[in-house]
Amino acid sequence: MRFHPLMRRLQVVVASVIGIASVLPAQALPDRAIGAVTSASARLWHGPADRSVEQMVGHKLVFLEKAPHERSAGYTAFRIVTKKSAGSLIPAYEDFVGKRIQIETVKAHAAGEYLVTALDVESGVRLQARTKANAIADVAPVGDLYRAKARWLNQIVYPRKRTIQTYDPATHRYGDVAVRLNEPLKVVDVILGMSATKPLWVVVQRENGDKGFIATAYSWTNAYSDWVSVDRPWEGAIAETTTGRDQRAYGLAGRLSRSGGFSTASLENRTD
């Protein structure tokens, strides 16, 4: 069989590359053993409020508000379970917004995901949802709202970014207010937001009276699995101190009070 000259050149090049690779020494990987990690110093990815999907059984979620243009579709991550069907009816937005459901069962599903069954205790309606990247869209852990309020309400926090957001519900338009990095802001409220990834709006006020909010999450519960890290979810948006020394062990031990003591740790294990 006769080969085109270009094919012969390609063969020569490939053979040369293989020959070079065979004589080159293997690239040594760096030694990553750096310092000592003890049980006391190890930094875990999770805190007391962080729960995997399997650990959410018995805990409550709340349906979040949605943007006006998304409301007609309902809560598409869920299906209503009836006696005749395993679930084909999508919960209507106006019927479920703000409602709380309690997780009853969590079963392993395809591709590492889960099938979650929940109960609307108020109406007795049962729902099912399939996770995506181990999270359920349009809902948030109820307990995180309580924990965030206990931690930050009436406290001073410091923004990690140069703007805080504003919102006009009449027009559904967002704006922003320029702030200084590490400017002291007083938390005047913590409310539910409109995104499962950042389900809390920490409402803050500047010294001049201007208000805005910082969207964040309190825990890694119901977070996309590839978003989870060893940092607390809010550390990229909110600082609780301007000192370099983080005395709170990244938020796992409760709020740092003005006297330097800790409080609210008992709230971490709430089920509602």
User: What is the three-state SS of the chain?
Assistant: CCCCHHHHHHHHHHHHHHHHHHHCCCCCCCCCCCCCCCCCCCCCCCCCCCCCCHHHCCCEEEECCCCHHHHHHCCCCEEEECCCCCCCECCCHHHHCCCEEEEEEEEECHHHCEEEEEECCCCCCEEEEECECCECCCEEEHHHHHHHHHHHCCCEEEECCCEEEEEECCCCEEEEEECCCCCCEEEEEEEECCCCCCCEEEEEECCCCCEEEEEECCCCCCCCCCCCCCCCCCCCCEECCCCCCCCCCCCCCCEECCCCCEECHHHHHCCC
Q: Indicate whether 255 and 186 sit together in one domain.
A: yes
- Comparing 16-25, 29-38, 195-204, 213-222, which segment has the lowest mean pLDDT? 16-25
For residue 18, tell me if it sits in a domain.
no
The answer to pTM > 0.85 is no
pLDDT higher for 197 or 12?
Answer: 197
Last residue of a domain, one of 93, 113, 137: 137
For residue 88, tell me if it sits in a domain.
yes
pLDDT higher for 14 or 180?
Answer: 180
pLDDT higher for 257 or 143?
Answer: 143
Q: Please, which pLDDT band fits residue 47 given cuts at 50, 70 and 90?
A: low
Query: Does pLDDT of 94 surpass 60?
Result: yes
Q: Indicate whether 126 and 154 sit together in one domain.
A: no
Is residue 163 within 8 A of residue 213, CB to CB? The reply is no
User: What is the token pair recorded at 237?
Assistant: 């948006």
pLDDT higher for 130 or 88?
Answer: 130
Residue type, 19: G
For residue 210, tell me if it sits in a domain.
yes
Q: Indicate whether 147 and 263 sit together in one domain.
A: yes
Q: How many domains does the chain have?
A: 2
User: What pLDDT is stored for residue 220 in this prediction?
Assistant: 94
Query: Does pLDDT of 235 surpass 50?
Result: yes
For residue 98, tell me if it sits in a domain.
yes
For residue 47, tell me if it sits in a domain.
no
User: What pLDDT is stored for residue 49 in this prediction?
Assistant: 79
Query: Does pLDDT of 267 surpass 70?
Result: no
Q: Indicate whether 58 and 167 sit together in one domain.
A: no
What is the rounded CA–CA span in Å between residue 5 and residue 242? Answer: 69
Query: Does pLDDT of 41 surpass 60?
Result: no
For residue 14, tell me if it sits in a domain.
no
Mean pLDDT of 242-250: 52
Residue that has been written with the tokens 């209507």 in this structure: 92
For residue 10, tell me if it sits in a domain.
no
What is the rounded CA–CA span in Å between residue 117 and residue 221? Answer: 16
Q: Indicate whether 126 and 219 sit together in one domain.
A: no
What is the rounded CA–CA span in Å between residue 179 and residue 168? Answer: 19
Mean pLDDT of 186-207: 96
What is the rounded CA–CA span in Å between residue 209 and residue 18? Answer: 69
Last residue of a domain, one of 86, 106, 137: 137
Query: Does pLDDT of 225 surpass 70?
Result: yes
User: What pLDDT is stored for residue 139 in this prediction?
Assistant: 98
Is residue 160 within 8 A of residue 138, CB to CB? The reply is no
Q: Indicate whether 265 and 148 sit together in one domain.
A: yes
Last residue of a domain, one of 109, 137, 165: 137
Q: Indicate whether 217 and 153 sit together in one domain.
A: yes
For residue 49, tell me if it sits in a domain.
no
What is the rounded CA–CA span in Å between residue 121 and residue 1? Answer: 77
Q: Indicate whether 84 and 150 sit together in one domain.
A: no
The tens digit of pLDDT for each residue in 156-166 reads 999 999 999 99
- Domain residues for 241? 143-269
Q: Indicate whether 197 and 213 sit together in one domain.
A: yes
pLDDT higher for 17 or 120?
Answer: 120
Percentage of residues of the chain with pLDDT beyond 90: 62
User: What is the token pair recorded at 208?
Assistant: 């001049």
Q: Indicate whether 215 and 172 sit together in one domain.
A: yes
Q: Indicate whether 264 and 149 sit together in one domain.
A: yes
CA distances from 213 to 51, 158, 193 (A): 26, 12, 10
Mean pLDDT of 214-234: 93
Q: Indicate whether 242 and 192 sit together in one domain.
A: yes
Query: Does pLDDT of 101 surpass 90?
Result: yes
